Amino acid sequence: MPEFKPNTLYYGDNLQVLRDFPSECVDLIYLDPPFNSNRNYNVLFKESAGVEAEAQIQAFEDTWHWGIEGTTTWDTYNQIVQKQDEVGRMLQAFVQALGHNDVTAYLTMMAPRLIELRRVLKPTGSIYLHCDPTASHYLKVVMDSVFGATNSRTDIVWRRTNAKGLAFKGFPRDHDTLLYYTKEAKFTWNRPFVAYDPAYVEKFYRFVEEGTGRRYRLSDLTNPNRDRPNLTYEWKGHVRVWRWTKQRMEEAEQHGIIQYSSTGLAAQKRYLDEMQGQPVDSIWDDIEPVQAHSKERLGYATQKPEALLERVISASSNEGDVILDPFCGCGTAVVAAHRLGRKWIGIDITYLAVDLMQNRLKTTFPGDFKKGVQIDGEPADEAAALALAEKDKYQFQFWSVAKLGGTSRGGQNKKGADQGVDGVIGFPEVDPEKSGKAAHDFKQVIISVKGGNTGPSHVRDLIGTVKNESAAIGVLVTIKEPTRGMIDAAASAGVYQSNFTKKSYPKIQIITAGDIVHGKMVEMPPIESLSQYKAAPKAKRGTQSSWDI
């Protein structure tokens, strides 16, 4: 059973993880739930035939289906509708109106998660649901039924692309929506500001003070309320109803913040460098998406810019508060929360995403995670590893490859025609036939994961794959101890001789799930880091990002 522990990554179904959390334990929730918005509307709203197997959510694979009757989506729908509360009636109405399709399946699976998210949110807490126009209007109705329509603060529009050209028929979809709700009427709020637009500064802060070079504008010092006897007096030959008392006017003049017109009428100097900036409104067009050249880019398809999450977190939480992202993905919310001095919790159903988040935290904040990142839900013993292999062979594959320091071949997708290659590890080598920079070479270790019974034929298959892929070493991951025939077949492959280390390594290696749990690694030439992910830029806690995006 998961234990509520801030600054922890949870591997598992967020619904099950959340149900074990205590009520009112987090201050802010940000979620970017997966949904295949790129699919054609005609497909999304196509009535399910009831013959598709229920799809599991993989990292980057973001479609939920109804599946056949009796599967999870159907059970969830029946449980919610039977209650006949506001959420149940809302969901039933959606299905009756739209039918059994991917959209209503998505809403069905989101409803119980939003109910749990409301339960764990503190009374002063806020929630931001990030979505795109494909489902935002439906999700808003679900949010209204769960959090209450009166607790909807605003719908934030983030312009994520700048669509140009004539390739579009109609208006291009170039924005996302953040549905911003609070749990109750009193909530944490720190108004965000952005720098003034240069054109605005030139127009309104057009004066430059001699000697200091400070920009300023003039503000009227007369009082709009004409019935203020205590503020009516003569100043520099002008009798007016002033905004300030005479004493304060004298103090302001001594500090040099009053300027006089040609007629001698007083006005206040308002310096640009003393202004907080332009208050942020509900249209966010100043934060660019993660570009191909961005320093923070990790190659995760749905990665959001840290600046976006920093704005959300800064506005709706304080230092020391707990931030929750139940669909963590590559962990941008977690990284932004840690950077801003908040505690955090990240949950994801794929080990691939959890491993990516772990690596991102360790490389971004190396001083804070010298002992690693807490992960709840990953196999801690051999029995748990075997249970994972039996429950979900793909997640067992991702876990095995990640623990060995490799990158999953084909990323997050379900296994297809992978030719026996489930993961790879790269390492530096030297080409003895060349000199200088040209001598630097790069070799690969191939990882093949088998979740069922294995025998010598699997070893021989791996030997052939290593040869076909021109790899240096092959690793076979098994759930059981290898047989004598497997060990002999592996030994027959010989060794790999490294020109870089001048050492030899077994050409074919067999590693069991139990070995992985106990920390066994591949015998191979050393590399700088076992992680095969792109390293995130280093940062210090308590500072905001400054990406060149």
CA 226 to chain centre: 55
Residues 109/74, Cβ–Cβ less than 8 Å: no
Residues 398 and 367 in one domain: no
The domain of 309 spans 8-44+108-190+281-376
Alpha-carbon gap, residue 304 to 93, rounded angstroms: 33
| Total-model pTM | 0.79
Alpha-carbon gap, residue 237 to 177, rounded angstroms: 56
Residue 339: is its pLDDT beyond 50?
yes
H/E stretch holding 19: helix 14-19
> What's the total number of domains in the chain?
3
Q: Is residue 533 part of a domain?
A: no
- Encode pLDDT of 501-534 as tens digits: 899 999 999 999 999 999 999 999 987 544 555 5
C-beta atoms surrounding 493 within 10 Å: 19
| pLDDT confidence of residue 204 | 93
Choose the most confident range, by mean pLDDT, from 243-252, 271-280, 418-427: 243-252
Q: Is residue 474 part of a domain?
A: yes
Which DSSP string corresponds to 468-519? HTT-SEEEEEESSPPPHHHHHHHHTT-EEE-TTTS-EEESEEEEEHHHHHTT
| pLDDT confidence of residue 62 | 39
Q: Which residue has the tokens 């983030």?
A: 158
Q: Is residue 84 part of a domain?
A: no
Last residue of a domain, one of 376, 408, 428: 376
- Encode pLDDT of 109-137 as tens digits: 999 999 999 999 999 999 999 998 888 99
Residues 138/94, Cβ–Cβ less than 8 Å: yes
What average pLDDT does range 464-489 have in this prediction?
A: 95
| pLDDT confidence of residue 73 | 85
Two structure tokens written together for 176: 């996302």
Last residue of a domain, one of 348, 376, 404: 376
Last residue of a domain, one of 243, 274, 305: 274
Alpha-carbon gap, residue 386 to 479, rounded angstroms: 6
Residues 143 and 218 in one domain: no
Residues 435 and 498 in one domain: yes
pLDDT band at residue 302 using 50, 70 and 90 as cut-offs: confident
| pLDDT confidence of residue 415 | 45
Residues 441/428, Cβ–Cβ less than 8 Å: yes
- Higher-pLDDT residue of 310 and 371 is 310
Two structure tokens written together for 447: 């990882």
Residues 128 and 170 in one domain: yes
What average pLDDT does range 305-324 have in this prediction?
A: 97
Alpha-carbon gap, residue 500 to 191, rounded angstroms: 57
Residue 3: is its pLDDT beyond 70?
yes
What average pLDDT does range 260-270 have in this prediction?
A: 94
Residue 433: is its pLDDT beyond 70?
no
Q: Is residue 57 part of a domain?
A: no
Alpha-carbon gap, residue 83 to 193, rounded angstroms: 44
- Encode pLDDT of 186-241 as tens digits: 999 999 999 888 999 999 999 999 999 999 999 999 999 989 999 999 999 999 99
Q: Is residue 369 part of a domain?
A: yes
Residues 355 and 431 in one domain: no
Q: Is residue 419 part of a domain?
A: yes
Residues 487 and 455 in one domain: yes
Share of the chain above pLDDT 90, in %: 59
Burial class (CB within 10 angstroms; exposed 0-12, middle 13-18, buried 19+) of 448:
buried
Residue 105: is its pLDDT beyond 60?
yes
Nearest alpha-carbon partner for 265 in 279, 282, 249, 247: 249
User: In this structure, what CATH number is given to the domain that contains residue 14?
Assistant: 3.40.50.150
| Per-chain mean pLDDT for the chain | 86
Residue 295: is its pLDDT beyond 80?
no
Residues 175 and 264 in one domain: no
Residues 182 and 314 in one domain: yes
Residues 425 and 493 in one domain: yes
Residue 68: is its pLDDT beyond 90?
no
- Higher-pLDDT residue of 359 and 346 is 346
Residues 227 and 261 in one domain: yes
Q: Is residue 522 part of a domain?
A: no
pLDDT band at residue 55 using 50, 70 and 90 as cut-offs: very low
Residue 323: is its pLDDT beyond 50?
yes
CA 120 to chain centre: 20
User: In this structure, what CATH number is given to the domain that contains residue 479?
Assistant: 3.40.1350.10
Q: Is residue 102 part of a domain?
A: no
Nearest alpha-carbon partner for 514 in 376, 375, 381: 381
C-beta atoms surrounding 314 within 10 Å: 17
Residues 265 and 298 in one domain: no
Residues 164 and 17 in one domain: yes
